[in-house]
Amino acid sequence: MKLRLLTLGALLFFCFSLFGQSSEFDATGFDAMRIENEIKLAVPNEIVDSVWEYLRTRYDNENLFLKKFDDGFSTKIAEDFFIDQYYDNEEMQLLKRQFGVRHRSRYVLTDSTDRKHGRQLLQVKVNDIDDNQLNRAEYKYPIKYYGTPNTPIDGHPLFRKIQRDQRKPLADRLNQLGIDGFSLFPTILIEQRRRRVYVSLNGASFATMTLDGVTASFAGQSTHYTELELELNEVNYTLGDSTTRAKMEEINESIKGDLLATFPSIQQDQTPKYNKGFDALGLVDFSSRPLFGIQEEYLSVGLIFFLILATFLFDRLEKKAWQGQTEAQPREA
């Protein structure tokens, strides 16, 4: 009987492991490829408020011009705040290939009860995945904090934040892209106030129009610019056949054309935010970053040593303070 239970448990564990993980083509879950199709538009700062007012009225449900394509279109408006910490290495491999590795924190300003409020993820963005210049691949990994480091990898500035069972998939994914994950360190921080129009078709997510007020910072410097992203829903786009994708792209191009006809000073610029931030900050490399000039493997060990030493000193000080209070009590009596 005991052997049967053990066998059954092993089979159940195998099944959950097999079906609980998303495959490369599921477009959902962790370490699964999603295709992001996005038009990126540079918006002059002096017309930002006018552009937002236009989006609010043009895409209002009472007079939604998208209904000429399908009566099932509807919209809603929201505002978010995103904090993106980007990573790269000494060779700036990610920057040069217009890739991105970022730790994203999201806050839904219009609804703190939203399931995505406070969500954190690590995202890997990959450029040049096919002939469509608007397409990028995206992989997501869960963030989890474990407290005091127990191993060198627990002290690594990137991997320490990743859920432990997803660290190897992340490292393997980066290796496939020719990037040593352990060489990565924090670089540019990008904060975004995101005013968004969510577009749905028959109740299913279709696209978002996001007006981003972007602040990029590094080593005490910061800069600001504005971008408008027209992004098709990545899951539905990834899972769609060629006809579905073509129809989605056609409607997104119509949205772009309508905007450019109204605001001729808006220019399409597919450069990723990470690269735009690097250029806007006038950076040449990341040599001015604090602390992270040391090789990462030594940094990890050094960080653990520092934490152990700090814990030891704190414990000694706490004990000394307690002994002092104990010795003072009889004199006070």
What SS3 state is found at 215? strand
Supply φ then ψ for residue 150, to 5 degrees: -115, -20
What pLDDT sits at residue 26? 53
Look up residue 231 and give its amino acid: E
Alpha helices in the chain (DSSP H): 2-20, 48-58, 93-96, 167-176, 234-239, 242-262, 273-280, 296-332
Average confidence (pLDDT) over 151-177: 95
Q: Calculate the average pLDDT of the chain.
A: 86
Return the minimum-mean-pLDDT range out of 12-16, 72-76, 116-120.
Answer: 12-16
Domains and CATH numbers, the chain: 22-308 (2.40.320.10)
Partners of 80 in the β-ladder = 108, 194
Q: How far apart are CA 322 and CA 317, in angstroms?
A: 9
Extract the tokens encoding 26: 């599921």
pLDDT tens string 269-319: 999 999 999 999 999 999 887 654 443 444 445 555 565 666 566 566 655
Extract the tokens encoding 107: 């806050």
Position 152 confidence tier, pLDDT thresholds 50, 70, 90: confident
Q: Is 41 in contact with 252 (CB distance < 8 Å)?
A: no
**Could you give the dihedral angle defined by the CA atoms of residues 164, 33, 229 and 184, in that order, rounded to the nearest 10 degrees?**
40
Position 323 confidence tier, pLDDT thresholds 50, 70, 90: low
Most confident of 15-24, 144-153, 211-220, 289-298: 211-220
pLDDT tens string 1-17: 444 444 434 333 333 33
What pLDDT sits at residue 7? 40
Beta strand spans in the chain (E):
34-42, 73-88, 100-108, 120-126, 135-142, 185-201, 204-218, 221-232, 267-268
Position 151 confidence tier, pLDDT thresholds 50, 70, 90: confident
Question: What pTM does this model have?
Answer: 0.79
Extract the tokens encoding 285: 């490399």
Count of other CB atoms within 10 angstroms of residue 291: 11
Instruction: For residue 18, count CB atoms less than 10 angstroms from its CB and return exposed for 0-12, middle for 13-18, buried for 19 or more.
Output: exposed
The residue ranking higher by pLDDT, 78 or 13, is 78
Supply φ then ψ for residue 327, to 5 degrees: -70, -30
Average confidence (pLDDT) over 11-29: 43
Longest dimension (CA), the chain: 88
What pLDDT sits at residue 149? 84
Element (H, E) at 163: none
